[in-house]
């Protein structure tokens, strides 16, 4: 388990100082995929580097498996870091080494025999789907392949924790999905606890169990991804999660944001609502996906201007157990009421 207690970090130069982290406290449980999301400059990358003491906090405690990192001697800290793998947006592969040799690198540093290191590296390359690229150099790989190689290298020391700092930001959507699927498989098959740093809610929504939202060096809220996605409380969470849909819409009907969190995707929800309520709605935004026959995502509808019709639709939603939030008047959706 990773515990962060009142972590503070300030960067200073001759002219000014910048507070990157202010009294940040989090608990990351063993075996989960934990997301940390925020806009650029929120402090999330500094926070993840404090977890393995690449950045030493100015105050507060980082406790991993009951050991407070600030109290460890240099050799003890180096040994503990073997339990913490890390991957980056920029891959950080050694260009003069083959893919196999890149994965061998941390094993060589740890003193493993060459034959043992190469055997372990080959197994990891097979795990990440790069067995046929062992003899290639990083310049010969695509972005997704480079990240897979970086993941294999991070797993070489059999870490208990894997820190991912914007690991998919430089990748296209299809490659991002494949990398996220790989990370989910690593979590389930190897039992590795994964911490994901990102500014993209779709990354959090795809694989994370819980999420911390950061803004201006502090954590604004923490909770299950499904709960924060459905009911964001802080302004920054609303900005990251809620779509800003500005569409010319006739009429003055209010808008509602409907959240799907595991309902049966085979149920014709929208048509059933319209037929049952005898009232038409205007679809302003829809982003849903099917996972094993269950629907996840959101839909934003403009209700009829006529109050009775709008009331029937709300009653239908309440009776069906569908979560929704009134989001504003005609033409604009963005902030929850």
Q: For the ranges 69-73, 246-250, 271-275, 332-336, which has the lowest average pLDDT?
A: 332-336
256 and 228 within one domain:
no
What is the band of 336 on the pLDDT scale with cuts at 50, 70, 90? very low
- Answer for the pair 193, 34: CB distance below 8 angstroms, yes or no: yes
What is the band of 137 on the pLDDT scale with cuts at 50, 70, 90? very high
Q: Quick check: helix, strand or coil at residue 312?
A: helix
Tens of pLDDT along 300-310?
888 888 889 88
Q: What is the average per-residue pLDDT within 298-319?
A: 88
CATH code of residue 74:
3.40.50.300
Whether 183 has a pLDDT exceeding 50, the answer reads yes
321 and 249 within one domain:
yes
Whether 232 has a pLDDT exceeding 60, the answer reads yes
106 and 225 within one domain:
yes
Q: Which residue has better confidence, 245 or 175?
A: 175
What's the pLDDT at 251?
A: 59
113 and 17 within one domain:
yes
What is the band of 243 on the pLDDT scale with cuts at 50, 70, 90? low
Considering 193, 210, 235, which residue would you say is the last residue of a domain? 235
Considering 205, 235, 265, which residue would you say is the last residue of a domain? 235
What's the pLDDT at 244?
A: 58
222 and 76 within one domain:
yes
C-alpha distance from residue 315 to each of 251, 264, 276, 324 (Å): 21, 20, 11, 11
Contacts of 225 (CB under 8 A, 6+ apart): 35, 204, 205, 208, 209, 210, 211
323 and 215 within one domain:
no
Tokens representing residue 112 in the block: 């493993």
Q: Quick check: helix, strand or coil at residue 324?
A: strand
Q: What is the average per-residue pLDDT within 102-115?
A: 89
149 and 223 within one domain:
yes
What's the pLDDT at 26?
A: 95
Tens of pLDDT along 140-177?
999 899 999 999 999 998 999 999 988 888 788 888 88
157 and 134 within one domain:
yes
Whether 63 has a pLDDT exceeding 90, the answer reads yes
Q: In total, how many domains does the chain have?
A: 2
Count the alpha carbons within 13 Å of 277 in the hemisphere toward its beta carbon.
26
Instruction: Provide the residue range defining the domain that includes 20.
Output: 2-235
Angle between helices 307-320 and 269-277 (to 10 degrees): 130
Q: For the ranges 23-27, 200-204, 286-290, 322-326, which has the lowest average pLDDT?
A: 286-290
Q: What is the average per-residue pLDDT within 242-261?
A: 68
306 and 195 within one domain:
no
199 and 265 within one domain:
no
222 and 299 within one domain:
no
Tens of pLDDT along 191-229?
999 999 998 888 888 889 999 999 999 999 999 988 887
Instruction: Determine the Cα–Cα distance for residues 114 and 197; give it in Å rounded to an integer.
Output: 33
CATH code of residue 311:
3.30.70.260
The chain-wide mean pLDDT, for the chain, equals 86
136 and 209 within one domain:
yes
Considering 235, 267, 295, which residue would you say is the last residue of a domain? 235
What is the band of 248 on the pLDDT scale with cuts at 50, 70, 90? very low
């Amino acid at each position: 388990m990773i515990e962060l207690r009142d972590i503070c970090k300030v960067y200073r130069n001759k002219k000014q100082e910048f507070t990157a982290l202010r009294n940040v406290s989090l608990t990351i449980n063993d075996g989960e995929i934990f997301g940390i999301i925020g806009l650029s400059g929120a402090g999330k990358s500094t926070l993840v580097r404090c977890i393995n003491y690449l950045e030493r906090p100015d105050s507060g405690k980082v406790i991993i498996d009951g050991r407070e990192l600030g109290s460890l001697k240099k050799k003890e800290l180096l040994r503990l870091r073997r339990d913490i793998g890390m991957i980056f947006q920029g891959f950080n592969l050694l260009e003069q080494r083959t893919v196999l040799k890149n994965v061998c690198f941390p094993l060589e540093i740890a003193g493993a025999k060459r034959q043992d290191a190469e055997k372990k590296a080959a197994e990891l390359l097979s795990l990440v789907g790069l067995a046929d690229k062992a003899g290639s150099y990083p310049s010969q790989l695509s972005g997704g392949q480079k990240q897979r190689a970086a993941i294999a290298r991070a797993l070489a020391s059999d870490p208990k924790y894997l820190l991912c700092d914007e690991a998919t930001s430089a990748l296209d959507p299809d490659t991002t999905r494949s990398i996220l699927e790989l990370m989910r498989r690593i979590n389930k098959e190897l039992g590795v606890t994964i911490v994901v740093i990102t500014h993209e809610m779709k990354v959090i929504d795809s694989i994370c169990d819980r999420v911390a939202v950061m803004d201006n060096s502090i954590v604004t809220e923490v909770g299950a991804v499904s709960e924060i996605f459905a009911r964001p409380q802080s302004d920054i969470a609303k900005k990251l999660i809620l779509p800003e849909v500005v569409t010319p819409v006739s009429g003055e009907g209010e808008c509602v944001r409907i959240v799907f969190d595991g309902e049966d995707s085979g149920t014709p929800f929208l048509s059933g609502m319209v037929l049952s309520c005898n009232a038409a709605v205007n679809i302003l935004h829809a982003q849903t996906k099917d996972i094993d026959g269950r629907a996840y995502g959101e839909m934003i509808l403009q209700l009829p201007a006529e109050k009775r019709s709008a009331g029937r639709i709300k009653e239908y939603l309440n009776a069906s157990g569908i979560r929704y939030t009134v989001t504003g008047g005609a033409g604009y959706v963005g902030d929850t009421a």
